[in-house]
Structure 1
Amino acid sequence: MVELRVFFFPMLAHGHMIPTLDMAKLFAFHGVHSTIITTPLNAPAFEKAVQECNHSGFRMSIAVVKFPRVSGLPEDCENADQLTSPAMSPLFLRATQMLEEQVEQVLEQHRPDCLVADMFFPWATYSAAKFGIPRLVFHGTSFFSLCASEQVRLHVAADKLENDSDEIIVPNLPDEVTLLVSQLPIYQRQKNESEFSKLMIRIKESEMKSYGVIVNSFYELEPDYADHYRNVLMRRAWHVGPVSLCNTSVEDKARRGKEAAIGGDECLKWLDTKKADSVLYVCFGSVSKFPSNQLHEIAVGLEACGQQFIWVVRKGKNDEEWMPEGFEERIKGKGLIIRGWAPQVLILDHKAIGGFVTHCGWNSTLEGITAGVPMVTWPSFAEQFYNEKLVVEILRIGVAVGAKEWVAGTGSGNIKREAFEKAARSVMVGKDAEERRDRAKALKEMARKAIGEGGSSCLDLDALIKELRMHHSSC
């Protein structure tokens, strides 16, 4: 049998690179030669996993393209996580769009059987087509948010969204889903005027012309929305997740993403001293960065809720400004603060974790589901408010903290300590908390079956690979 070659091209941000690496590993485990296209300063994030995959008898490699230089970006900035101001975001996006010519050279040289490219590269559909290569789109989110976002795009006119406090019903979905206008993505409230709005239009156009969409989810999690996406919105789509479950060893889980600010052993040792379901894990992803006053409210709320906790705080210029006087002394033994990157999957999988305060990015949300942990939801931007609706109202495994405003690139900074304390306590303690935890643990079992032999995601991935082989044979 001829070896199938699939190239993966993630957006240059850890929230996109991590699931893409996991997905590439899954393809490799299914007999595909997986190659990741990236830039020089991002390549080290993939190298160890690629080496280990090859040592285990599978096939993976890396293709490096040079990051374009754009005035206004630091010379060593090749990852969105390195951006230090909102003004840099459009410059960084512009630089990524300039990778087109180099990626085409890679495709022309290697002629892979498929290109899985991040949604933020709309030109990838047309670049792949030049060489007769099918392009799959990777959005890195749920079926639910893909369906809700598309129904808003198709049926909710931006010029009708006048008041942020107005409530809208997302049309045509299997469930009744309501959102405040202020919770909709900014680009869905604009009349196609901003550069980002125009990019989102190009993304949608290129998706419609692509070979299909690959989704990091599993059928049992959101069956009505997997069906809606494919049968109502008429998208060709394959679910292959949760892709994080390709990491089975402690070492694999500990080194996902950037270098952790704390050793996996140290984390596990601390958690081993705690009772099952007794620790609240608080982390808002790799991008959201709260202002000092909001961090202060979280600290006070955490202390007041009476729960043991691990809190991951992003490093900033004024790291300790927000901290209540004597806070660290008072929480010794009861709370663990991690400044920087944390081995999240390793932490969530520990039996001591009983709740997860999350920004509702899909990676984190799905990792929480996969670990069987109920959530406090605190969305900020991107598709996070859609994901909150899935977690709280459809799956009924979450408690909303009350965030009401879509704020790009930063955490919603107006949640008071009392609201946070109430949500944190309600996800950890009481009859409702136990019922949420039971539902979450049932989803955990479904997730593990889905990715295993004969499971829904395993079968969908096999079907996709078989289809790509047939496409290869017919060319």
Structure 2
Amino acid sequence: MDCETQHQLNVTFLPYPTPGHMNPMIDTARLFARHGVNVTIIATPANALTFKNAIDTDFTHGYHIRTQLLPFPAAQVGLPEGLENIKDGASLQLLSGIGRGISMLKGHIELLFQDLRPDCIVSDMFYPWTVESAAELGIPRIFFYSSSYFSDCGIHSIQRHRPHERLVSDTDKFTIPGFPHRIEMTPLQLANWERVSDKVTDNFGRMFESERRSYGALYNSFHELESEYEQLHKSVVGIKSWSIGPVSAWVNKDDGQKINREHKEELPEEPEWLTWLNTEQNDSVIYVNFGSLTRLHHAQLVELAHGLENSGHSFIWVIRKKGGNEKDNSFLQEFEDKMKESKKGFIIWNWAPQLLILNHPALGGIVSHCGWNSLLESLNAGLPVITWPMFAEQFYNERLVVDVLKVGVPVGAKENKFWAFSDEDNVVGREEIANAVVELTEKEEGREMRERARKLSDASKKTIEKGGHSHNNLIQLIHELKSLKISKAVTEAS
């Protein structure tokens, strides 16, 4: 074995199969490979297909990156072949099948770790048991958190102090203890597992306890965005952490021009929405997209459509077609025809080249569910946000955007509920939606938010350049892992 191979750092990445977790981890793995690390990503076949092109391209450019495939036990959990990602769970039954399938992979993954013998495991938060796997191999385990420091610190604080339990009503406000800013929330805005103790609470407990027992944590965030919460994380969780975000902007940075070119080449002639956008004034169009896991009830779709129309502002709305839901489809079809006629709005079905749209000069803001990746993309593009959190840690992210960064207008979402459990009562009305759009686009506060968002955009571009915080953090982490590998080899040899 030559010296180079001996000192080559081998890192195995284990992503969790849902877009909000998987995409940033794949981007992170690609960044490691671009900095000389030998990278292996463990994934099931259908999930691996979603990032195959990116990995193949990196490999042809000479980077050491590959995917190690694991068969998904579809038949054993009664699922059709190819349903392996949480985003494909269109019903509770499918979701629980996918979840069961994922947990059945544990033994196979542990055997893979033994075979691969990596120098480090970067594991998604949803695999707490990888702490033990890494300990058995005598290597560091890095906890990968796919959201903000702010939300992680919020969850730790609520679990420790339980401030919501002293309130009479679920709609009363409490203040998050130990935070540098005064942050108020209501019990209804917490995820169900945070409010009431159940089996899920135990699972999350194990997860956050595994973070404390990890060698360190990786965050897709950047110092200029939430430095105070980066600090707080160190004292609350007590481990090192490295902010290396925004990873998607970083991994696509050098081919930013290329991406736009490729997107345009992929698009048959200029698409209708782009022709329409090109006629709109700068900073005037609102982009509406709720990510891959949100499904809106009919009553909510109707309110949203009317709210956007009543605001008097142009918008682009990305909607996933629902199979067989006639009521939704016919309403949206009529709405789309009406918008085409008035030229005030544009609907894109199923998928949109989000980065291309966000960076268009006509864009003035985004309506977001406050998923972390979407927020990073809008801030990277310098756009303020109309915040509409739905579930999970999104209500914490809303408070970061509105109260700390001051680049967001809340639409007034009151309850933390995953779509599969929510009901038609819990609807945000058209007035609130229209008012939020008007505040963002016409009021002085909105103008100030746009200014702040542009400053954050500059910072997010600088941090991933040579000498920037995120850039330095990644280099430093790789050096540290290399030193650990060398000292382990020395100890074993003596």
TM range (shorter): over 0.9
8 Å Cα contact 1:158-1:188 kept in structure 2? no
Matches within 5 A, 1:141-160: 141-156=147-162, 160=166
Matches within 5 A, 1:233-272: 233-245=237-249, 246-248=251-253, 249=256, 252=259, 266=271, 267-272=273-278
SS at match of 2:346: strand
Structure with the largest fraction of helix:
2
Residue of structure 1 in register with 2:178 after alignment: 172
Matches within 5 A, 1:247-396: 247-248=252-253, 249=256, 252=259, 266=271, 267-316=273-322, 317-318=324-325, 319-323=328-332, 325=334, 327-332=336-341, 333-396=343-406
Residue of structure 2 in register with 1:51 after alignment: 56
8 Å Cα contact 2:125-2:145 kept in structure 1? yes
Matches within 5 A, 1:201-220: 201-220=205-224
Residue of structure 2 in register with 1:221 after alignment: 225
Q: 1:201 to 1:158 in 2, by over 3 A?
A: farther
Residue 269 of structure 1, CA deviation: 4.2
Question: Is 1:60 aligned with 2:73?
Answer: no
Residue of structure 1 in register with 2:456 after alignment: 443
Q: TM-score, normalised by structure 1?
A: 0.93
CA distance in 1, matches of 2:367, 2:223: 25
8 Å Cα contact 1:264-1:343 kept in structure 2? no
8 Å Cα contact 1:293-1:322 kept in structure 2? no
The aligned amino acid for 1:18 is N
User: 1:69-111 CA deviation, whole Å, 9 max, x = no partner?
Assistant: 4435444311111112124434432322221111122211121
Residue of structure 2 in register with 1:183 after alignment: 189
The aligned amino acid for 2:183 is V
CA distance in 2, matches of 1:445, 1:204: 33
CA distance in 2, matches of 1:373, 1:320: 30
CA radius of gyration, larger in: 2
CA distance in 2, matches of 1:159, 1:96: 34
Q: 1:100 to 1:447 in 2, by over 3 A?
A: same
The aligned amino acid for 1:376 is I
8 Å Cα contact 1:282-1:311 kept in structure 2? yes
8 Å Cα contact 1:161-1:189 kept in structure 2? no
Q: TM-score, normalised by structure 2?
A: 0.90
Matches within 5 A, 1:22-61: 22-61=27-66
Percentage of pairs with the same residue: 40
Residue 161 of structure 1, CA deviation: 5.7
Residue of structure 2 in register with 1:76 after alignment: 82
8 Å Cα contact 2:215-2:239 kept in structure 1? no
CA distance in 2, matches of 1:365, 1:215: 14
The aligned amino acid for 1:101 is G
Residue of structure 2 in register with 1:425 after alignment: 438
Q: 1:138 to 1:409 in 2, by over 3 A?
A: farther
Q: 1:56 to 1:273 in 2, by over 3 A?
A: farther
CA distance in 2, matches of 1:13, 1:387: 19
Q: 1:262 to 1:418 in 2, by over 3 A?
A: farther
Residue 17 of structure 1, CA deviation: 1.5
Residue 250 of structure 1, CA deviation: 5.6
Residue 21 of structure 1, CA deviation: 1.4
SS at match of 1:173: coil
Structure 1: state its 5+ residue gaps: none
Q: CA RMSD in A?
A: 2.2
CA distance in 2, matches of 1:183, 1:253: 38
Structure 2: state its 5+ residue gaps: 489-494
The aligned amino acid for 2:177 is P
Q: 1:288 to 1:254 in 2, by over 3 A?
A: farther
CA distance in 2, matches of 1:179, 1:351: 35
Q: 1:120 to 1:409 in 2, by over 3 A?
A: farther
Residue 327 of structure 1, CA deviation: 4.8
